Amino acid sequence: MAGPADDSTWISAFLEAQAAETGAARNTLLGYGRDLKDARDWMARKGLRFETAGRDDIEAYLVFCDAQGLSRATRARRLSALRQLYRFAYEEGWRAENPAIRIRGPGRAKTLPKTLSVAEVDALLTAAPAQGR
């Protein structure tokens, strides 16, 4: 079974299914919609469609997002939206495979742990003897 004729219908059908089947929150649906419309627009400029895009195309879109200066969290969310869309399309029989399933996300930024100020360390040292009694 082929998917819908245009990418906007892919997005609409996916969002309707998310609302009905998973009870996705309104803000989640709005976020998915924005992310998928951005991907759709990028693909259209490249002459691609959701129906025909492959793993390399999706990875190229994520590189584009990175080049636009989007945060890791935003890029991860966009990849998640595409994974969900393609999983839905696979389950509906619109695609023979899910081209986004094996794409690794950008991961989380590694941050150093916060340190205590000198005043906080002094306060701990002052309080310690009182706790030992």
Instruction: Look at residue 108 in the predicted model and tell me its pLDDT.
Output: 58
- Six token digits for residue 6: 């245009």
- Six token digits for residue 84: 């969900």
Single pTM value for the model: 0.76
pLDDT tens by residue, 16-39: 999 998 888 899 999 999 999 999
Question: CA–CA separation, 36 vs 38, rounded Å?
Answer: 5
> Rounded mean pLDDT of the chain?
89
Instruction: Look at residue 30 in the predicted model and tell me its pLDDT.
Output: 94
- Residue 133, SS3 per DSSP: coil
- Six token digits for residue 66: 């990175």
pLDDT tens by residue, 57-93: 999 999 999 999 999 999 999 999 999 999 999 999 9
Question: CA–CA separation, 88 vs 69, rounded Å?
Answer: 29
